[in-house]
Structure 1
Amino acid sequence: MVAILAVATLGLSACAPLPSAAPALIAARTFAPAFELQGRISASAGEQAASGSIDWRHAHGTDSFTLLTPLGQIAAQLEASAVGAHLRTADGQELSADSAETLLPHVLGIDIPVASLGRWVQAAPDAAAEVRNRDSAGRPALVIDQGWRIEYLAYLSTAADSPPARLDISRGDARIRLVIDSWTTLP
């Protein structure tokens, strides 16, 4: 009888649910409303391609982008605020528009949502974005936002709140690769 009870107990314990795996670590990411970054950028869409360095200052509702050629010469400067945007290119061309989103494609050749780009470079996507994968520190590794695929290939350090160091942003044949060399959160 004892043997039958032991077998029955073992059989029932085999049917018990397995303990669930620990939930994936999710690092708290905050969005800095003001930052400055310097890095290298390459953009391509079909046959069009551009590469060089970027200095970007995002603060208090304004954006200032300076794009440099691989040789360090200014290729374009873009200033944007709530009242509009102004682009100056190395060849002397000047364009104005309602937003940076309208003018940035003249430089990069890609129509990209500039408002979202500020969140993407911080790995702090808004609530509408889908975080598909996280790295071992719980930081976003793959995000899908507005049809764009944002891959975080490296972070500046191992800290959970570290900003990204390498991003690959793509949609269809449009691709931006960004290597961030320097990142500063501004007051």
Structure 2
Amino acid sequence: MQAVNLCRLMVISILIILISACATRPVPQYSVNAQSHQKQLQQIRNWQIRGKLAFRSEQDKFSASLNWRQQDKDFRVNLSSFLGTNILLLEKHQGQVELQYDDKLYQHINAAALLYELLGWTIPVESISQWVKGQTSAEAQAEFSDNGLVSRLQTADGWVVNYSDYRQTGETLLPHQISLQAGPNRIKIRVDAWQLN
């Protein structure tokens, strides 16, 4: 009888060890020099992200697949449904902004103003191109976590940006979860993949 109990105890112990080994692996702990990391981010001028974007305001809400390519100050932002249907394409090239939406083409010199005038969406596109990297600016108040990475930005124009889930991309740590809020406007960006060019 004692041999059976001992055998059960051994089997239970082995199962516990196996189950704990299958548990989610711990998130790697990174530590950086905040100043050096910010200099690295400033040098990243050409990049692409794929992921998801969710937007909510008092008047509207939507979520979409996001593909954003940035080339210095020019960009191409494509939002599509989860079935792959194009929702909109927003491009800036040499200071001119074009928006393809609902089979029509619209032009402007300011992407955020165009989105607001046409769709009522408050999305600070030009600023997000910097914020999405976790890059601070002279006008923003930044909070850094103990590991030297930006955890929160409070911008001069009223946006609060929170960061989490930093991962190594090449030689740089970049955020994969970004949430932005200004009044009733909320934007969440989940980055599935970063590509640095």
TM-score normalised by the chain length of structure 1: 0.77
- Structure 1: 5+ residue stretches without partners: 1-24
Amino acid at match of 1:37: I
1:154-185 CA distances to partner (integer Å, 9 max, x unpaired)? 21249994111001100000000000011112
Residue 60 of structure 1: how far off its partner (Å): 3.3
Distance change (3 Å), C-alpha of 1:105 and 1:180: farther
Aligned to 1:175: 186
Aligned to 1:43: 55
Please say if residues 76 and 89 of structure 2, whose CA atoms lie closer than 8 Å, have aligned partners that are also in contact. yes
CA distance in 2, matches of 1:137, 1:107: 42
Is 1:115 matched with 2:123? no
1:23-76 CA distances to partner (integer Å, 9 max, x unpaired)? xx6352222111111110000111300111111111033110110112221111
CA distance in 1, matches of 2:187, 2:140: 18
- Secondary structure of 1:72's match? coil
Single out whichever of 26-35 and 156-165 deviates more from structure 2. 156-165
- Secondary structure of 1:104's match? helix
Distance change (3 Å), C-alpha of 1:35 and 1:84: same
**Percent identity (aligned):** 23
- Secondary structure of 2:193's match? strand
1:62-113 CA distances to partner (integer Å, 9 max, x unpaired)? 1101101122211111111233111112x31221111222233468743233
Please say if residues 54 and 189 of structure 2, whose CA atoms lie closer than 8 Å, have aligned partners that are also in contact. yes
Aligned to 1:60: 72
Number of aligned positions between the proteins:
161
CA distance in 1, matches of 2:169, 2:73: 30
Please say if residues 76 and 107 of structure 1, whose CA atoms lie closer than 8 Å, have aligned partners that are also in contact. no
Aligned to 1:4: none
Amino acid at match of 1:99: N
CA distance in 2, matches of 1:73, 1:106: 23
CA distance in 2, matches of 1:170, 1:154: 18
CA distance in 2, matches of 1:100, 1:76: 13
Please say if residues 43 and 109 of structure 1, whose CA atoms lie closer than 8 Å, have aligned partners that are also in contact. no
Is 1:164 matched with 2:172? no
Give the RMSD, CA atoms, in angstroms: 2.4
**In the alignment, which of 137, 143, 151 is matched to residue 147 of structure 2?**
137
Please say if residues 37 and 182 of structure 1, whose CA atoms lie closer than 8 Å, have aligned partners that are also in contact. yes
- Secondary structure of 1:85's match? strand
- Secondary structure of 1:176's match? strand
Larger radius of gyration: 1
Amino acid at match of 2:123: I
Of Structure 1 and Structure 2, the greater helix share is in: 2
